[in-house]
């Protein structure tokens, strides 16, 4: 199945997902947390430290 973010890079897809999971994957159990762009950037930066 084609996912709307397949053509995006890892970080871009993660930004889309964190911004609005139900829009990216309808039926997803992850709710829209209402994160700001800054919160998303900070979360991705933190996740990168875990690699």
Q: What is the DSSP letter of 40?
A: H
**What whole-number distance in Å separates Cα of residue 26 and Cα of residue 21?**
8
| DSSP output for 1-51 | ---TTTTS-HHHHHHHHHH-HHHHSTT-SS------HHHHHHHHHHHHHT-
The tens digit of pLDDT for each residue in 19-50 reads: 999 998 999 999 999 999 999 999 999 988 99
pTM exceeds 0.85, yes or no: no
Task: Please determine, for residue 4, whether its predicted confidence score (pLDDT) is greater than 70.
Answer: no
Report whether pLDDT(16) > 70: yes
Domain parsing of the chain, residue ranges: 10-49
pLDDT at 31: 95
pLDDT at 9: 81
pLDDT of residue 1: 47
């Amino acid at each position: 199945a084609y996912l709307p973010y397949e053509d995006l890079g890892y970080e871009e897809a993660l930004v889309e997902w964190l911004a609005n999971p139900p829009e990216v994957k309808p039926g997803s159990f992850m709710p829209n947390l209402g994160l700001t762009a800054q919160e998303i950037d900070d979360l991705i930066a933190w996740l990168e430290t875990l690699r």
